[in-house]
Amino acid sequence: MLAGFIIGMKIKNFGSIMITVLENRVKLMKQGIPVKEKQEYIMNIDDISVDGEGIGRIEGYTMFIEGALPGEKVRVRVVKVGRNHGYGELLDIIEPSPNRVFPPCPYSARCGGCSLQHISYNSQIEFKTRRVRDALERIGKISDVMVHKTIGMQTPWRYRNKAQFPIRMDNGVLSIGFFMPGSHDIVDIDSCMIQHESCDKVIEIIRKFIRKYNIPVYDERTHRGIVRHVVTRMGFKTGQLMVVIVTNGRRLPYSNELVALLTSGLPNLISIVQNINSMKTNVILGNENLTLWGQDHIVDILAGLTFKISPLSFYQVNSAQTEVLYGKVLEYAGLTGKETVIDLYSGIGTISLFLARDAYKVYGIEEVPQAVYDAWENAKINGISNVEFIEGKAEDIIPELVDGGMRADVVVLDPPRKGCDQAVLDALARMAPPRIVYVSCNPATLARDLKFLTEQGYKVEEVQPVDMFPHTTHIECVVLMSRVEK
């Protein structure tokens, strides 16, 4: 008994000692940090982060300042202190950068959509090119490769063909707009300068509908209410507009009145869809659609090809730059009419059909059933017969194809932001196609995947960034890889 008591005391004392050691260690670390929360400092900004924040140092301690630019002297208030770096609030610009411009959007200071509006467009292009190069060198350990200058837009405004507006009711006040950075608080807007002009009218009509008929707005805390989001899709070449009302369940009071308001106010409207999402989730769209009026899809045209677009279809949001992007994919594919091509993450078949016009055979692999259906429809609409679409996850399908003896001359990858599943990369390494064209919207996961492929016998030939998302930190890339002969 006495021995047990002594052991217990030792364990208890050891725990107390460890807590004291940790507390002292924290104090020592804090003693080495030259800034304090809520205090103001003057500092110089030397660089910019991947998220668009200015980076500077106070007595060697790294600070991230949203809204600050390289080359500026600023006054900041420290809002958060960490072990290795802190965050500050920009209070005053003492010496502005020559690359600073006045944001034309009245919501830019509060909205989380366009974090680079205060930077000249030429500087945005330089920032995005450098971001891609840095990711390749730091994450991919790839430095001996040509990263071309980012291809920008001549007019980088009103370019988006898809908008998703959350709807909230806070203390009896209706808000329709976009989330503030790092929160679920909504900036109520009347107009968005990167969305098509038709979106402004849609917001106005939806706001009028909710107020006039007292429609319950969804509350994510209680999971009650009806209207969650409004989504718009626009065919830039055809002018066709779709409006999607996302609801918490099937019930949508006064739906006929909503149809009347939308159709009378939007002459280019051809589709009104109710999307049902009853899940407790941040995912915007559910899997079930009800057509309230008109068609269940819109049509758009890219480089002479016609595409049917449903509410759940993946379709690049910048139609003008998509033609540039896919043109580069086609160039890198180097097709002569004899090649078999596999297009992974093929969506509604946009890249597959671009390639099919110059290939012998194209296989598209896509996991979303509606997208696969649309892809077959798009092939039929365009009279393209040398393409086949396979439904399933890329990480399941491509290993099966390789095990079955499938070989391809060119493989095109266009994965989501998380990049390729390891099973996909392993299968590609075993298949060993002579050429891989990788389309990416995330330089970090792109660099990670390229590093693996270079270790499996591939060489990165060149990289072409394309600015699909002006005034944001996002960047799209096309990469050409070739198999190294051993």
Convert the pLDDT of each residue in 31-83 to its tens digit: 579 999 999 999 999 999 998 999 999 999 999 999 999 999 999 999 999 99
- In what side-by-side order are the strands of the sheet with 435-440? 146-147, 458-466, 476-483, 435-440, 410-413, 340-344, 361-366, 387-391
End-to-end CA distance of the chain: 72
Among candidate residues 356, 357, 387, 355, the one with its CA nearest the CA of residue 372:
387
CATH architecture for residues 40-95: Beta Barrel (2.40)
Confidence of residue 239 (pLDDT cuts 50, 70, 90): very high
Confidence of residue 2 (pLDDT cuts 50, 70, 90): very low
- Provide φ and ψ at 10, rounded to 5°: -65, -40
Q: Please compute the mean of the pLDDT values over residues 393-414 and round it to a whole number.
A: 96
Q: Identify the pLDDT of residue 14.
A: 45
Check if CATH label 2.40.50.1070 holds for domain 162-302.
Answer: yes
Confidence of residue 170 (pLDDT cuts 50, 70, 90): confident
Q: Identify the pLDDT of residue 307.
A: 96
> Do the two domains 40-95 and 125-154+318-483 of this chain adopt the same fold?
no
User: What separation in angstroms does the CA of 60 have from each of 43, 44, 47, 67, 91?
Assistant: 11, 12, 14, 21, 21
Which residues pair with residue 217 across a beta bridge?
227
Domain borders along the chain are: 1-31, 40-95, 125-154+318-483, 162-302
Q: Identify the pLDDT of residue 185.
A: 87
Largest CA distance in the chain: 89
Q: Label residue 135 exposed, middle or buried (CB < 10 Å: 0-12, 13-18, 19+).
A: buried
Convert the pLDDT of each residue in 334-358 to its tens digit: 999 999 999 999 999 999 999 999 9
Q: Identify the pLDDT of residue 7.
A: 37
Residue 8 has pLDDT above 60, yes or no: no
Residue 257 has pLDDT above 50, yes or no: yes
Strands (E), 180-240: 186-188, 227-234
Tokens linked to 141? 């350990």
Confidence of residue 171 (pLDDT cuts 50, 70, 90): confident
Tokens linked to 351? 């890249």
User: Residue 403 in 3-state DSSP?
Assistant: helix
Residue 377 has pLDDT above 80, yes or no: yes
CATH architecture for residues 125-154+318-483: 3-Layer(aba) Sandwich (3.40)
Distance (Å, rounded) from C-alpha 472 to C-alpha 475? 8
Convert the pLDDT of each residue in 440-459 to its tens digit: 999 999 999 999 999 999 99
Which residues pair with residue 300 across a beta bridge?
307
Strand 435-440 versus strand 410-413 pairing type:
parallel
CB 459 within 8 A of CB 482: yes
Q: Identify the pLDDT of residue 254.
A: 98
CB 117 within 8 A of CB 92: no
Q: Which residues are catalytically annotated? A: 441
Backbone angle region of 214, left / alpha / beta, with phi > 0 → left and psi within -120 to 50 → alpha: left
Q: How many CB atoms lie within 10 A of CB 107?
A: 21
Among candidate residues 88, 14, 100, 17, the one with its CA nearest the CA of residue 57:
88
Residue 9 has pLDDT above 50, yes or no: no
The contacts of residue 203 (CB under 8 Å, 6+ apart) are 165, 176, 177, 189, 190, 191, 230
State how far Cα 184 lies from the chain centre. 17
CA angle 466, 471, 472 (to 5 degrees): 75
CA angle 384, 387, 391 (to 5 degrees): 130
Q: Label residue 146 exposed, middle or buried (CB < 10 Å: 0-12, 13-18, 19+).
A: exposed
Distance (Å, rounded) from C-alpha 249 to C-alpha 181? 28
